[in-house]
């Protein structure tokens, strides 16, 4: 796919996807959503990519949905809206299926769908200048698609308050709510994000994939079944070349050379 609303760059095993319509505050339009979905999926399929950074151009991370596209929905039939709605959820389903760690580097306002994108990423680092919020009710709509990720990040009671108040809040409050993991000075955001991505990229790619698999597969699993599943999954790790390499490198006091198998 040719990208027109995002930038895609790969360096040192790390893919950086940048929402790139700064004059519009990087809206999650239909085109942007499709391009973002494609870029994440392509990154996840590439064995050479060990981490994915998602950020925004200019002063915003993403201001959410495109208002002009919302207006176009007024004239569409219910079946068309249903099909387009299912397509639009593909992006947010990736959070539970992608096995390459995604890091949100929140450089500015992340509102509505942009806030949901932050919640979907496995780790989120925010600039102290960032603002976040579920602002949909101000426009007479509901944060339907992103609600599952928001409530998983902040919990039921906090999700309810954020949704009904439509409040725009600080990065520090987002950290207190567990919506972001870390808040850093604005001029250090890129450096800190890159440092984290490189750390993750330095680990066994197989172990990282198994970690995400273990986390998401057992998320709503019965407790006893979860133990059984994880015990089985552990055998994959025990029999992997990467574990043997990791143990040998530790004993020999050298850096491991991972093979991802």
pLDDT (tens digit per residue) in 99-156: 999 999 999 999 999 999 999 999 999 999 999 999 999 989 999 999 999 999 999 9
Determine the 3-state secondary structure of 228 from DSSP: helix
Task: Note the pLDDT of residue 71.
Answer: 63
Two structure tokens written together for 62: 């993403």
Two structure tokens written together for 229: 């599943």
Q: List residues with catalytic annotation.
A: 136
Q: Is the model's pLDDT at 85 over the cut of 80? A: no
Task: Note the pLDDT of residue 76.
Answer: 73
C-alpha 32/C-alpha 90 separation (Å) is 12
CB burial class (10 A; 0-12, 13-18, 19+) of residue 168? middle
C-alpha 76/C-alpha 98 separation (Å) is 32
C-alpha 6/C-alpha 56 separation (Å) is 9
Task: Note the pLDDT of residue 88.
Answer: 74
% of the chain at pLDDT higher than 90: 86
- Range 3-25 average pLDDT: 97
Task: Note the pLDDT of residue 79.
Answer: 77
pTM of the predicted structure, to 2 decimals: 0.92
Band (82; pLDDT cuts 50, 70, 90): low
Q: 223-238 and 205-217 are packed helices; what angle lies between their axes, rounded to 10 degrees?
A: 170
Q: What are phi and psi of 55, to 5 degrees?
A: -145, -175
């Amino acid at each position: 796919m040719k990208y027109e609303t995002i930038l895609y760059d790969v360096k040192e095993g790390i893919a950086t996807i940048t929402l790139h319509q700064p004059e519009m505050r990087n809206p999650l339009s239909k085109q942007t959503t499709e391009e973002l979905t494609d870029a994440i999926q392509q990154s996840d399929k590439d064995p050479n990519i060990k981490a994915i950074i998602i950020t925004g151009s200019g002063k915003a991370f993403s201001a959410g949905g495109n208002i002009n596209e919302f207006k176009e929905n007024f004239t569409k039939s219910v079946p068309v809206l249903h099909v387009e709605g299912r397509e639009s959820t593909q992006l947010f389903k990736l959070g539970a299926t992608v096995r390459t760690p995604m890091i949100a580097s929140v450089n500015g306002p992340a509102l509505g769908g942009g806030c949901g994108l932050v919640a979907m990423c496995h780790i989120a680092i925010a600039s102290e200048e960032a603002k976040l919020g579920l602002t949909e009710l101000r426009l007479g709509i509901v944060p339907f698609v992103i609600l599952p990720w928001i409530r998983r990040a902040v919990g039921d009671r906090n999700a309810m308050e954020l949704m009904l108040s439509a409040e725009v809040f600080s990065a520090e409050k987002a950290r207190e709510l567990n919506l972001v993991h870390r808040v850093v000075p604005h001029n250090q955001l890129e450096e800190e994000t890159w440092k984290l991505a490189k750390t993750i990229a330095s680990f066994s790619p197989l172990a990282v994939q198994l970690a995400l698999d273990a986390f998401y597969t057992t998320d709503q699993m019965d407790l006893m079944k979860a133990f059984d599943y994880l015990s089985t999954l552990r055998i994959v790790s025990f029999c992997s070349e990467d574990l043997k390499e990791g143990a040998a490198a530790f004993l020999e006091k050298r850096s491991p050379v991972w093979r991802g198998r």
